[in-house]
Structure 1
Amino acid sequence: METRFLGRSGLKVSALGFGAGTFGGKGPLFGAWGNTDVTQARRMIDLCLDAGLTFFDTADVYSDGASESVLGQALRGRRDQVILSSKTGLRLGDGANDTGTSRLRLIKAVEASLQRLGTDYLDLLQLHAFDAMTPIEETLSTLDDLVRAGKLRYLGVSNFSGWQLMKSLGIADRHGWSRYVANQTYYSLVGRDYEWELMPLGLDQGVGAVVWSPLGWGRLTGRIRRGAPLPENSRLHDTADIGPPVEQERLYRIIDVLEDIAGETGKAIPQVAINWLLQRPTVATVLIGARNEEQLQQNLGAIGWSLSAEQVARLDAVSAIQTPYPYYPYWRGQFSERSPLPV
């Protein structure tokens, strides 16, 4: 499998990564994602490694830590074969300090994740969300300490806005602390908001995208069709209101084009949707998930081939949305190249 540098770092990651949110299966949200146990997880990891997929991502909040525990047990004896990533920062417990990215919380959370995963270090730790209540200097200095202590190798973020990420990078540079090289972000044909600000930032600052939910929160599986009811076993019955919203008619138009291109390429709709992402700027790795071996094998088939330029253009066009101000030039069409821009 192709490997790519993670942002402007020397770390190479497989172009496809495995998201272990389906491991553990505790609670209403993660239970709807999947309930893979250790035996099943070992088999899925075997399939991933055989295909060259070596990047595995989880989070302490997934199934209240059960995802990390299952992943750690399933990786026992082959830790050195993989790039292991986790996330922290969301609430995990009822205590006042069981949320956020304070020094106290980060040290406690990292130690707990390492114990559950059965490892001495994480290749990548990503903050699951921006903590507006903790000074950025406190968060970054603590992360830098953890890197220097050998607990963490690389740092990243997830679900940050552009200004939050850029301010953090500026502070890290000012103090000579470890910088974020990864941005785990929602990006798909039905969710292209990443392109407005975070993609240009990633290009400029050397922050690579680790894409989550490449199938649009389960909407681009190929099982959703115009005029047909939602499949009985779709997780959208339980999670549609939690995930990113999608306008239904736009979804159907995208699926129509995906279906046409799937027929042209002999690939499945999810494979086409993921392959489109693999050709986008800044994308270092696309996280695939699976509740069973069949889904995993299908998603692994998204790599090793490429959409044509014409097919990419068709997908670009059908999924395009009008960007909000100030990400589009509001004077477009009103001034010639020689005319002064409005003040």
Structure 2
Amino acid sequence: MEYVNLGRTGLKISKLGMGCMTFGSPTWAPWVLDEERSRPILEKAVDLGINFFDLADMYSLGASEEVVGRVLKNVPRHKLVYGSKLYNPMSGDVNDRGLSRKHIFDSIDGTLKRLNTDYLDLYSLHRFDYETPLEETLDALNDVVRQGKVRYLGASSMHAWQFMKAIGMQRANGWAQFVCMQNHYNLIYREEEREMLPLCMSEGIGITPWSPLARGRLAARPEPDSTRSQTDKTASALYDRTKETDDAVVAAVRNVAERHGRPAAQIAYAYVARRPGITAPIVGISKLHQFDDAIASLEVKLTAEDIAEMEAPYEPKRVAGHV
């Protein structure tokens, strides 16, 4: 396993991050794995050298954090990089959501309890909160860092101007700054190349993209009868509308994969992992054999011709993933 610095920090994370939305409670979503089925996957991740585990309080409404915390409880804490996120509703209560000072303080304590840890390595805003003053959010985040509950701060999908405005406020006030952006980026969604990726590279911000396989579409191995393909409404919202043009990109990935004698998933992973500025893509694993493509992708060397062929069919899209 390769290890890389997260942006300009001294924190070393594995070149692949383990996405943990798959683990938790099937009552939250039918494709989620319970603790018994999650255990061998999480343990395999550790065996392979993956140290970065990407969570969110909303995943299975906290059950994902609980499962990960229990399964990995015997792994020395210094060997783990736990990242979690907040923003989405955790209940029907009006204050149990968003990025208010109240919710941030409540949320970090809840996450630490569920993960059974004293601190979180990376705490990220899951989305931008249009109903809370940005100053309130950033001041509260600074406090949880100064209290020792959080080591580093990050953010997820938002507009580049929002992210830079926040960083500017942090610098002006001497607050702990964002060091990581987790955004939506893959071969069939490249809108982040316009502003967010250049911004992060300019400012030394680590980039840990989500959905590098576009919910499996870039693996070119459709499973139309799988539970997730039938029930994942987020995947449908992100990609169904542009399927015709996306299919041309998938076909190009398949062509490149055939030339390399590798599965398409390895090519799609490799593209994201090796793009300029990318720190570590977040991979979603629900079956042990899926580790094979993720790990092998780090050995793939794409040529300029490979990249040009896969990028050529792309057409501009509406912003997707920010809300």
TM-score (norm 1): 0.87
Note the C-alpha offset of 1:221: 2.2
Q: Deviations over 1:118-176 (max 9, x none)?
A: 11011001111111221111111111111111100000011211111011000000001
Question: Which range is displaced more, 262-271 or 179-188?
Answer: 262-271
Note the C-alpha offset of 1:49: 2.3
Cα 1:244–1:322 change in 2 (3 A) is closer
Aligned equivalents of 2:111, 2:54: Cα separation in 1: 12
Within a 5 Å distance, the mapping from 1:91-240 to structure 2 comes to 91-224=89-222, 231-233=224-226, 235-239=228-232, 240=235
Amino acid at match of 1:11: L
Within a 5 Å distance, the mapping from 1:28-107 to structure 2 comes to 30-32=29-31, 34-35=32-33, 37-78=34-75, 79-107=77-105
Aligned equivalents of 2:247, 2:198: Cα separation in 1: 29
Secondary structure of 2:130's match? coil
Cα 1:322–1:160 change in 2 (3 A) is closer
Note the C-alpha offset of 1:321: 2.6
Is 1:321 paired with 2:321? no
Aligned equivalents of 2:187, 2:44: Cα separation in 1: 27
Question: 1:334 corresponds to which residue?
Answer: none
Query: Is contact 1:185–1:211 with CA below 8 Å preserved after alignment?
Result: yes
Amino acid at match of 2:131: M
Note the C-alpha offset of 1:96: 1.5
Query: Is contact 2:30–2:228 with CA below 8 Å preserved after alignment?
Result: no
Cα 1:234–1:312 change in 2 (3 A) is farther
Aligned equivalents of 1:45, 1:96: Cα separation in 2: 34
Amino acid at match of 1:144: N
**Matched length:** 315
Question: 2:23 corresponds to which residue?
Answer: 23
Q: Quick one: which of 270, 278, 283 aligns to 2:278?
A: 283
Secondary structure of 2:312's match? helix
Q: Quick one: which of 250, 263, 268 aligns to 2:258?
A: 263
Query: Is contact 1:102–1:134 with CA below 8 Å preserved after alignment?
Result: yes
Aligned equivalents of 2:218, 2:230: Cα separation in 1: 15
Note the C-alpha offset of 1:246: 4.9
Aligned equivalents of 1:157, 1:146: Cα separation in 2: 15
Q: Deviations over 1:105-128 (max 9, x none)?
A: 001000000000111011001111
Cα 1:99–1:14 change in 2 (3 A) is same
Structure 2: segments with no counterpart, 5+ residues: 319-323
Q: Quick one: which of 269, 274, 282 aligns to 1:274?
A: 269
Question: 1:247 corresponds to which residue?
Answer: 242
Query: Is contact 1:190–1:246 with CA below 8 Å preserved after alignment?
Result: no
Secondary structure of 1:250's match? helix
Amino acid at match of 1:206: G
RMSD between aligned residues: 1.8
Note the C-alpha offset of 1:308: 2.1
Note the C-alpha offset of 1:199: 0.8
Question: 1:292 corresponds to which residue?
Answer: 287
4+ long deviations beyond 4 Å: none
Percent of aligned pairs with the same amino acid:
36
Amino acid at match of 1:236: S
Question: Which range is displaced more, 250-259 or 83-92?
Answer: 250-259
Structure 1: segments with no counterpart, 5+ residues: 225-229, 325-343
Please identify the structure whose Cα radius of gyration is greater: 1
